[in-house]
Amino acid sequence: MSTPDRQELLRNAVVFLSDPKSQASPLAQRIQFLESKGLNSQEIDIALRQSSNTSAPVSYPAPYSVSPFPTAPSTQWDWRDYFITAVVSGTITYGAVTLFKKYLLPHLQPPSTTAYEQDRDALNAQFDAAEALLKEIQAETALVRAAVEEQKEKVDKTTKDIELVVTEMRGSELKTRDEMREIRDEVNTIREMLPKMIDRNKEAQAQSLAELQQELKSLKALLLSRGSMSISSSPSTPLPTPGRPSIPAWQLAAAPSPMGSTTEPSTPSYTLPTAVSNGKGKEVDIQLAESALSNLRKSFAPPRSASPGTSSRSPTSGVARDPLQKSSLEERLRATFTIGDVSNGPTPDVSARASPAPRAPTIEHPLSPSSTPLPDSPSLPPVLEESPLDRPESPEVAPQPLIPPLTPTESESPKPESPAKDDSDIMAEEHIPEEPVPQDPLPAEPTAKSIPDPAAEPSVEGEPVAEESIAGGPIVEEPFASGEDVDVDALQERLKLVEQRFADVSTSFKRLQAEKLAADAVLRELTPLESLQESDALRDYLQNMSAKAKMSQEEIMRLDVKLETQDERIEEMRDTHRLESKSQSELIDSLRSQLNESEALLKASQSSLSQNGDDISKHKAELERMQAEVLKIREVAKDEEEKRTKAISLLKTVRQKLVKSEKDKEEALRQASALREQEKEYKERDATEKSRLRKDVDTANAEREKAVTGLKAQFDKEIAALKDRYEKELASQKGQFELDAVTTKSSHTKELSMKNSHITQLQSSLGSLTEDKNSLFDELQLRQAELESSQSLLESIQGQNTELQYQLRELEDRVSFLNEELLDAQRGRADLPREPGVSSEEVARLLVASEAKYEAKVMELQRGIAIIEKERNDTEAEWSRKLREKVKETEELKRALGATVKSKEQDEGVVNQLHQEISELRKELETQRRQVDELRSQLNQAQVAENDARSHQSEYTARITTLEQNVDEGKSREAQLRVSNKTLREELRKVQSSAALLERQRNPGVGYWTTRGESVQSDAQSPPPSQSPSPASSPRPDSAMSNKNDEEVNLEYLRNVVLQFLEHKEMRPNLVKVLSIILRFTPQETRRLMAKV
C-alpha cells in the first residue's frame, strides 16, 4: 500500500465495490475478483470499509404518478410474434431454471440441525482428545520425574560408594606404607646388627684365643715349676709332705727306662717313667728292659745304713698323704709329665722318691674333669702269687702290704666307662664330687699276696684309683742278706709283670688323652673355645648360640609371617582392586544404560510434546476452519440478504410493468386507481419494511464488521504476543545455552589445567623418587662392596695374625720343650757318675717324638681354626645372601607399591571421569527439568488458549444461534413476501390477460417493434437495477402456472438487460460479466466465456 500502484489498485477496488452494478453480485465473487486482481486480504478489507462508507444510498423511484399519455393504436400480434416470443422465453426460462437448480438451489437450502450437532460433537471430541493428550503428557512428565529422581538417587548412591571405596583404598595404602616402613626399619636394624654381631663374634673368638694362650702359658708355667721342683728336691727331706704318692720301686724296676730299681737298702724308690708314644713301642720296650736288667745286675750290693730309715719313713709318708685331697685330670697329667721327666734322665735321682718332696699347692681349675674315669686295663694272669717275693727273706722286718685291700663295697661296685664320651657327659661329670679314697698305712714288707691285681680290682672311681694305687707312696725295699739269694728269674718275671701293667696304664692314659684331644678338637671346630676346661665360657657360648638360634628363628618366622601377611594383603588389595574395577565398570555400564533410558524417555517426552504441539496446531486449524465456516455462514446470510434485495428488485420490475399495463389500459382506470391505492399502501409498507430491513442489514453489517475487526485485531495481537514471547524465550534460551556452554568450557579448561599440573607434579615427584631410589641403591651397593672388602681385609689380617700366633706358639713350645729337655739332660749328666746315661740317639728320638706330637697338636688346632673360619665365612655368606634376598624383597615390595600407586592413580582417574559424567548427568537433569518446566508453562498456555478457544466457541455458538434466529425471521419474511408475490402474480396475470386482449386488437407486425420501442424507452427511463435478479425462493411444484409466471418474469428481466447492453456499443464488452453475474457463473466459466468472446 505504500507504492502508488497499490494505491491506484485500492482506489479502483473501492470504485468497483461502490458501483451498484457490482454490488448486485455476491460478496464472495467480488472478493475473489479483487484477489484475482492482486489485492491482499487487508487491502480488500480496507476497500470494503471505504466502499461501505462512501456508498451512496440507493435511489428509489419516486412514487408513480399516473400521467395522462396518449393512447397508441392497438397492434395485434400474429402467430409469428407469439412463436418467437414463446421460443425465446422458453429457452431463456429453461436455461434460467437449470442454472437455478444447479447453482442457486443448494445454496438456498438452509443447513440442517444435524450438521451443527455433528460439528459440535466433533469439536467436543477434539477437546476430549486434547484433554486426554494433556493427561497423558502429565502422566509421562510424572514418570520422567520419577525416573530422573531414581537416577539421581542411584547416582548419589554410586558416588557415596565410590567415595567409600576411595577412603578404604587410602586407608589400605596407609597401612601398606606403615608396614613397608616397619619392614624398612627392620631391614635397617638387621643391617646395623650384622656388623655388630660380626664384631662380637670376632671379639669372642679373639677372647677365646687369648684365654687359650693364657691357659697354655699357665700350663707351661706349671710344667716348668713342676720340673724345677722335681730337680730341686733332695733325698734327705726328713718331713713327710702331703704330696702325690709315688710309684713303688719294685714296679719302677720293670719300667722300660734306663734307670732300674737298686737292690741296695739305702737306695730310695724310683718313680715310674711314662711311655713315649713314638710309634716304636716294642723296640724301645726291649731296649729299656735290657738296660733295666743290666742295671739290676750291677746294683747287687750290701744294704746301706740309711735304708731302714727310709723304709721306716716311707709308710709315714704314705700315711701322711691327705686322704681328702681329690685327684683331677690336670694332676694326673702333671704326674705323668713328672714321671716322664724323671724317667728321661740318664740316672735316677736318689732322693727323688725316698721321701716325697713338699708338694706345691695345686690350683684346681674349674674346668678340670676331676671325675673323668680312665678305661680299665686288660686283665693279666696272676703271676705274682708264685713270685719268690711271697717268702720273706729277712726275719727282722715284718711284711706290710703295699696297698690296702679294698672294701667289699669298692670291689663289688665296678663302674666301667666307655673310652670316649660326649661333651655333655663330660660337662655333667665335671660337677660330680669325688669321694676320698681311704689309704691305710703301708706294711713294712710287701708280700706277693698283698699286691693286688689292677685288672682284678675295679675301683669305685675307675682308673684314678688304680693310678693312685700304682703311684702310691714309696715302698720299703726288703734288705737282702747277700746277693746270692736274689733270684734273677723272679726279678725278670716281676719286671715283665710291671712292664705289662705299665703298658696297660700307658694305654689307658693314651685313650684318656685321645678322648680329651678329640673333645677339644670338637670344641675348637664348633666353638671359639680351646678345651673342656672353660666350662663357664662353654656354657655361655652354648647359651648364646641357642639364644641366637632362637632369636634368628623367631626373627625369620616373624619376617616370614610379615611377608606372608604382606603377600596376603597385596593379594587382597589386588582382589579388592579387581572387584572395585569390576564394580566400577558395572556401575559405569548401568549409568550409561540409565543415561540411554533417560535419553529415550526424553526423546519420547519430546515426541509427545511435538505430538501435543501438532495436536494444538490441529486444534488451531480446526478453530480456523470453524471461523471459516462461520464466515461462510455469514456469506450465506449475505446471499440471503441479496436474494431479498433481488426479490425487491423483482417487485420493482413488476410494479413498473403494472404501471405500463395501467398506462396501456384505459378501461381499467378504476382498477388501476384501486391498484394504485393498494400499491401506495404496499409501497408504504414496503418502504417501512425496506427501511427496517436496511436498518437491520446495516446493524448486522456493522456488527459483523465490528466482530470481524475485533477478532482480527485480537488474533493479530495474540499472534504478535505469541511471536514476541516465543522470540524472547528463544533469545533467553539461546543466551542461557551460550552462557552454560561458556561456563562448562571454562570449567573444563580449568579442570584440564589442574589435572595437567597435578600430572606434572606427580611425574616430577616420581622422577625424584626414582632418582632417590637409584642413588640409595647405588650407595647400598657401594657400602656392601666396602663391607665385603673390609671383611675380606679383616679376614686376611686375622688369618695372618693367627698364623703368626701359631708360629709364635710353636716356637715357644719348642723353646719350652728344649729347655725342659736341656734340664733333663743336665739332670741326667748330674746322675751320670752313679748310673750309665741314656744315649744321645734316644734323646734325639724323644725330641723328634715330642716335636711330632706337638706339631700334630698344632695341625689339629690349625684345622679347627680353619673350620671355624670356614663356618664364619659360610655364616657371613649366608647372612649376606639373606640380606640380598631381603633387599630384593624390599625392591619387589617397592615395585608392588609403585604398581599400587599407579593403580590408585588410575582409579582416581576413573573416579574423576565418573565425577565428570555425574556432573554432566546432573546438568542434563537440570536441562530436562527446565524443559519440563517449559513444557508445563506451554501446557498452561495451551490450556489458557483452549479456554479462550472454548470461550470463543461459546461466543460463536451464541452468534450462530442469533444468526439462525435472524435466518428464521428472514424465512418468515420471505414466506410473507411469497404470499404477497403470489397475489401480485395473480393480479399480473389478470393484467397480462387484459394486455393480451389489447395486443390482439393491434395490427400484426407493427405492434411488435412499437411495443419493443416503448419497452426500450420505458427501460431507458427506468433506472438500471442495482442488484442481479435472483429467484425469491426455490421452485415448488404447487402449480404449473406459478412456475411459468416466474420464468416469464425472469426472461423479461433478461431480455431487457440484453437489449440494453446491445443498444449501447460501449456497454457491449461488459455484457459477459453482467450475464455471468446474473446467471451466477463460476470464475472458470466466466474465463471460458471471455476466452470464447
Selected residue with higher pLDDT from 433 and 105: 105
Work out the pLDDT band at 39, boundaries 50, 70, 90. Answer: confident
Instruction: Give the mean pLDDT of 55-70.
Output: 46
Work out the pLDDT band at 74, boundaries 50, 70, 90. Answer: low
Instruction: Give the mean pLDDT of 541-554.
Output: 82
Instruction: Return the exposure string of 1054-1091: e unless at least 16 CB atoms fall within 10 Å of the residue's CB, then b.
Output: bbbbeebbeeeeeeeeebbbbbbbbbbbeeeebeeeee
d(CA 403, CA 145): 125
1002 strand-pairing partners: 75
Q: What is the pLDDT of residue 92?
A: 93
Helices 669-830, 41-54: crossing angle, 10 deg rounding? 150
Instruction: Give the mean pLDDT of 754-783.
Output: 82
d(CA 405, CA 451): 9
Q: What percent of the chain has pLDDT over 70?
A: 66
How does DSSP classify residue 366?
Answer: T
Helices 1040-1063, 79-99: crossing angle, 10 deg rounding? 100
**Is 587's pLDDT higher than 90?**
no
Please state which of the ranges 61-70, 480-489, 718-727 shows the lowest mean pLDDT: 61-70
Smallest Cα–Cα separation from 249: which of 14, 474, 559, 88?
Answer: 474
Instruction: Give the mean pLDDT of 385-391.
Output: 39
**Is 1034's pLDDT higher than 80?**
no
Smallest Cα–Cα separation from 429: which of 305, 535, 353?
Answer: 535
CB 103 within 8 A of CB 29: no
Work out the pLDDT band at 919, boundaries 50, 70, 90. Answer: confident
Instruction: Give the mean pLDDT of 1040-1069.
Output: 67
CB 332 within 8 A of CB 816: no
d(CA 1090, CA 778): 115
Instruction: Give the mean pLDDT of 753-758.
Output: 83
Counting Cβ atoms within 10 Å, is residue 629 exposed (0-12), middle (13-18) or buried (19+)? middle
Q: What is the pLDDT of residue 95?
A: 92
d(CA 582, CA 588): 10
Any residues with CB less than 8 A from the CB of 56 and at least 6 apart, and which?
A: 18
Instruction: Give the mean pLDDT of 1053-1080.
Output: 78
**Is 481's pLDDT higher than 90?**
no
**Is 551's pLDDT higher than 80?**
yes
Q: What is the pLDDT of residue 94?
A: 92
Q: What is the pLDDT of residue 679?
A: 74
Q: What is the DSSP string of 963-1017?
A: HHHHHHHHHHHHHHHHHHHHHHHHHHHHHHHHHHHHHHTBPTTTHHHHHHHHHHH
d(CA 330, CA 122): 140
**Is 91's pLDDT higher than 90?**
yes
pLDDT averaged over every residue in the chain: 69
Residue 718 sits at the vertex; the CA angle it makes with 717 and 719, to the nearest 5 degrees, is 90
Instruction: Give the mean pLDDT of 808-826.
Output: 81
Selected residue with higher pLDDT from 230 and 995: 995
Most confident of 99-103, 884-888, 1031-1035: 99-103
**Is 54's pLDDT higher than 60?**
yes
Selected residue with higher pLDDT from 869 and 393: 869
Selected residue with higher pLDDT from 1023 and 1003: 1003
Helices 329-344, 463-470: crossing angle, 10 deg rounding? 30
75 strand-pairing partners: 1002
Any residues with CB less than 8 A from the CB of 23 and at least 6 apart, and which?
A: 17, 55, 1026, 1027
Q: What is the pLDDT of residue 838?
A: 53
d(CA 988, CA 996): 12
pLDDT digits (tens, 9 = 90+) for 291-319: 655 665 555 444 444 443 333 343 333 33
Does the pTM exceed 0.85?
no
Q: What is the pLDDT of residue 290?
A: 61
CB 260 within 8 A of CB 291: yes
Any residues with CB less than 8 A from the CB of 825 and at least 6 apart, and which?
A: 843
Instruction: Give the mean pLDDT of 431-440.
Output: 41
Instruction: Give the mean pLDDT of 123-136.
Output: 82
d(CA 459, CA 434): 12
What are the grid coordinates assigned to 973, written together? 419474511
**Is 1035's pLDDT higher than 60?**
no
Work out the pLDDT band at 122, boundaries 50, 70, 90. Answer: confident
